[in-house]
Amino acid sequence: MDDSSLFESDSPSSPSQTALFKVSKLVDNYLAEIAPDANLKLNKFIAVAETLPAHARTIHDGLYRAIDVYLKAHQGLTDADRRKLCKLIDFQNYHRKAGAHAAQNERLPLQSIVQVLYYEQLRLRNALFCSHPDEDPKPMHQSWRISSGALSAAMSPRDNYASLRRENRELKLELARLRMRLNDLEKEHVCMKRNMEKSSSRKFISSFTRRIGKLNIFAHSYSRGSTSPSKQSHRIESKLTERTDKYTS
């Protein structure tokens, strides 16, 4: 992964969380620095990652980035080693950009990709449910209710792999449908907002036009049925003068 900015996360607000965040970021950055070393053994890399308590790493973006760098530099790892390494990652605790990258990351073991797609699907379902709380979300397919130890030990490796690939395809299809639905809802929201703005603008113009029309009617009737303002003012002044003369005489 070349662009580390994809996995930047916001610092927590409370002092204790901020301190933990700084320590976890320091450890994860150190892991990313040593990960490209071809001589770095897997157990040593895992030992450094586990020096940080589980509760201290609130966001796993940095750890995912470091593990991806290690996988990139150590492509000879067995599938079991890659699974062991990826067990360090909590796929629920990272940001959307990291999740989108992980879902397309072929260096991850297939089990991890299935978990990524599963949690990404949950995020999209929650977003859709928040947009339309009256709609009941569809029940999840039973095969998607997975965890790191959900695969049956009785299955042969070939059947296990085929099952994972099938779940992977199903999750990707469902994820694509959810993303399309979410995009449609966002477009509908934008259109509704524009229509409301246009409606209020038209009402204002219509009201303003009616007012101008009334003023024009008054001006027109005044010009046809009334004398000019100067003549009317002169008559009023004459009447006031006559009344003043009567009272003074």
Q: How far is 241 from 51, CA to CA, in rounded Å?
A: 105
Regarding pTM above 0.75, the answer is: no
What is the mean pLDDT, run by run of 10 residues, along the chain of 249 residues? 48 67 91 95 95 86 94 93 92 80 86 83 72 50 43 52 68 70 75 77 68 57 50 55 54
The predicted pLDDT at position 147 comes to 44
Give the containing element (helix H, strand E) for 6: none
The predicted pLDDT at position 232 comes to 54
- Per the CB < 8 A criterion, the answer to whether 170 and 141 are in contact is yes
User: What would the two tokens of residue 167 be?
Assistant: 């779940």
The predicted pLDDT at position 210 comes to 67
The predicted pLDDT at position 240 comes to 52
